[in-house]
Amino acid sequence: MHLFQHLRRGHLWLCMGLGLGASALAQTVVEHLPGAEGLALKVWVFHPAQHSPDTQRPVVVALHGCGGMYATVGSRKGQLSARHQGMTNLLLAQGYSVVWPDSLTPRQETSLCEQSMASRQVRQSHRRSDVHTTLAWLGQQAWTDPQRVALLGWSHGGSAVLASSDSRQKLPQPSVTPDIALAFYPGCSDALRRTYQAAWPVHLLLAGADDWTPAAPCVALAQKAGMSFKLYPDSHHGFDNPEGQVKHLPRVPNGQNPGMGVHAGRNPVTGPQAWQDVLEMLKKRWPDPVAH
């Protein structure tokens, strides 16, 4: 049966996303990397169990959104959220290592979602620095295939994908640079104003009904900068979350209609489809997860 059919029926959410803990699929390590301005950047590293420690393999650097990496309630509190753990397990099953830089808790933050843009102390310059710190560290690891590294970000982390891949930002380049970058529903207005230019292939996964980070500026950016994109209809911000349903979040001050809150939540059809699209794009880029 085609993987998408499994996804449509929810089997993959159970088997990879939520039914198995990380330990069933991976070896997990927490690292503290020396970052900019004396920051000890906390990085979670997940390795596929089927590979020996030094076997070179593709690596996905995953970037969390404004709510951070972790579940905040329930039995998973303090662990990766359902969406983050689900995608991690899905990538591990393909033979990829997955690396999650935590941009919030080392800066004494747990969530930015209810902060106005002007008041946020964690900005895209910080996220960009964290990406570069992580890439520099990956260049020193025997298990990193330096030719097969991807960025994958959601929302604020999707914006971090754009901030990190902008060739107009004159920053020292780490020894490892991404081969491809994928961004779920990023905020694109700033990049559109900056005359963004992609330093490597970038693909945007956009929500057609998004009133938090609307799709229209991203479509305009993709067309202007020559990036690929896919627009998922009838989908709100966070549509790929494997749990929950669409909710109104009245306390979020940023969005298409300031002061009126935003909507976010799962679409049981387009969410699995988008995850399948991620797998297919990576598979097309990297046909064999081990041999190079």
DSSP-based three-state secondary structure for 49:
coil
Number of C-alpha atoms within 13 angstroms, CB side, residue 132? 19
Q: What are phi and psi of 189, to 5 degrees?
A: -60, -45
pLDDT for 49: 85
Number of C-alpha atoms within 13 angstroms, CB side, residue 104? 17
- Measure the CA–CA gap between 45 and 62, rounded to whole angstroms: 10
Contact partners, residue 86, CB within 8 Å, separation at least 6: 13, 16, 17, 18, 242, 275
Q: How many residues does the chain have?
A: 292
pLDDT for 26: 62
Number of C-alpha atoms within 13 angstroms, CB side, residue 243? 14
How is residue 167 written in tokens?
Answer: 């060739």
Class of residue 81 by CB neighbours under 10 A (exposed 0-12, middle 13-18, buried 19+): buried
Contact partners, residue 33, CB within 8 Å, separation at least 6: 40, 41, 43, 133, 134, 137
* CATH topology assigned to domain 3-285: Rossmann fold (3.40.50)
DSSP-based three-state secondary structure for 180:
strand
DSSP-based three-state secondary structure for 282:
helix
Following DSSP, what letter does each residue of 190-238 receive, concatenated?
A: HHHHTT--BSS-EEEEEETT-SSS-HHHHHHHHHHHT-EEEEETT--BT
- Measure the CA–CA gap between 180 and 199, rounded to whole angstroms: 10
pLDDT for 291: 52
Q: For the chain, which ranges sit under pLDDT 70?
A: 1-27, 171-172, 289-292
Instruction: Output the CA torsion sign for 216, 219, 220, 221.
Output: positive
Following DSSP, what letter does each residue of 244-276 receive, concatenated?
A: ---EEETT---SSSTTS-EEE---TTHHHHHHH
Interval 13-72: pLDDT, tens: 444 444 444 444 566 889 999 988 889 999 999 999 877 778 899 999 999 999 999 998
| Domain spans in the chain, listed from the N-terminal domain onward | 3-285
pLDDT for 194: 87
pLDDT for 158: 98
Nearest to 136 by CA among 169, 171, 185, 107: 171
Is the distance from CB of 278 to CB of 152 less than 8 angstroms? yes
